Amino acid sequence: MKQYAILLDSRFCTGCNTCFYKCVQENRLHDVAANGNTRTLVKINDEGMYHHRCMHCIEPTCVANCPKKALTKTDYGPVLWDTNVCIRCGTCVQKCPFHVPMLDQPNNQIVKCSMCAHRNLGQDENAIPACVTVCPTGALEFGERGAMVAKAKQMAKDGGLNLYGLEENGGTNMLILTKADPTAVGYPAVQKSSAGMSPVAIGGTAVGVAAIAAAAYAGLKKYSTRRNEIAKED
């Protein structure tokens, strides 16, 4: 099955938040938005602007930590939330390195982008997320992830841009091109690693693969030392 991704070229984003309004309309989230919780929102600050939305990680920390498996990673890209399984514990809110999921208590639900999976994403090749269809400047693009990655890399090279989401947390299905440092405009500083090597959950805490290897090495060294001591005693 093809895996899809959204590509955002921040150079063409005007901060109009048409994506936000369309998302509210598409998913009927008027009450949720009224409480200040959104699936997507363009935030503007002194340094620039950034899109606060789910990054749809290849190996999601939220999925790894959810105690009820209410969050799942689909083969075609999106990370989805199951309202019937979720116990609203807020673990995903705490663990997400991108600070994306929101717990909307008045409506008793977790708020995060689904990449409009309800539009038969992954089944219908013509299916496109609502936000992408209405962006007036074409800042948002949607397509097969491999093609989006290749295009984003080339654009970053040609334009001297930063590519956010390619390696953050092991890679994501949301690729963002920025002229300024992504963290300077608002995107979280997240540990980078190659696809398939993202931080994993141990004891409810995200621990880098390098740290795991170091811990394993220390354990083996300690065992070896103790074994030699026993041998000498005998």
How does the average pLDDT of the chain come out, rounded?
Answer: 87
List, in order, residues 6 or more apart from 169 with CB less than 8 Å away.
55, 57, 59, 61, 97, 98, 190, 191, 193, 198, 199
Q: Stretch 192-203: mean pLDDT, rounded? A: 57
Tell me, what's the pLDDT at 21?
A: 98
Q: Which helix (H) or strand (E) holds 144?
A: strand 140-144
Tell me, what's the pLDDT at 183?
A: 97
The domains found in the chain, sorted by start residue, are 4-198 (3.30.70.20), 199-234 (no CATH)
Tell me, what's the pLDDT at 148?
A: 98
pLDDT band with cut points at 50, 70 and 90 for residue 203? very low
pLDDT at 199 over 60: no
pLDDT single digits (tens) 146-177? 999 999 999 999 999 999 999 999 999 999 99
In the numeric block, which tokens belong to residue 102?
Answer: 């929101």
**String of b and e for 102-129 (b: at least 16 CB within 10 Å)?**
bbbeeeebbbbbbbbbebebbeeeebbb
Tell me, what's the pLDDT at 172?
A: 98
φ, ψ (nearest 5 deg) of residue 62: -65, -40
pTM: 0.82
Q: Which contacts qualify for 88-94: CB closer than 8 Å, 24 or more apart?
A: 91/62, 91/65, 91/66, 91/67, 91/204, 92/62, 92/65, 92/66
Q: Stretch 62-89: mean pLDDT, rounded? A: 97
Tell me, what's the pLDDT at 207?
A: 41
Q: How far is CA 56 from CA 76, 180, 190, in A?
A: 11, 23, 14
pLDDT single digits (tens) 41-50? 999 999 999 9
Tell me, what's the pLDDT at 218?
A: 41
Tell me, what's the pLDDT at 96?
A: 98
In the numeric block, which tokens belong to residue 149?
Answer: 């990655």
List, in order, residues 6 or more apart from 83 with CB less than 8 Å away.
70, 109, 110
pLDDT band with cut points at 50, 70 and 90 for residue 34? very high
Q: How far is CA 160 from CA 12, 46, 156, 189, 229, in A?
A: 15, 22, 5, 20, 58
Q: Which helix (H) or strand (E) holds 163?
A: strand 162-164
Of the chain, the percentage scoring pLDDT greater than 70 comes to: 83
Q: How far is CA 96 from CA 92, 107, 109, 121, 206, in A?
A: 6, 21, 16, 24, 9
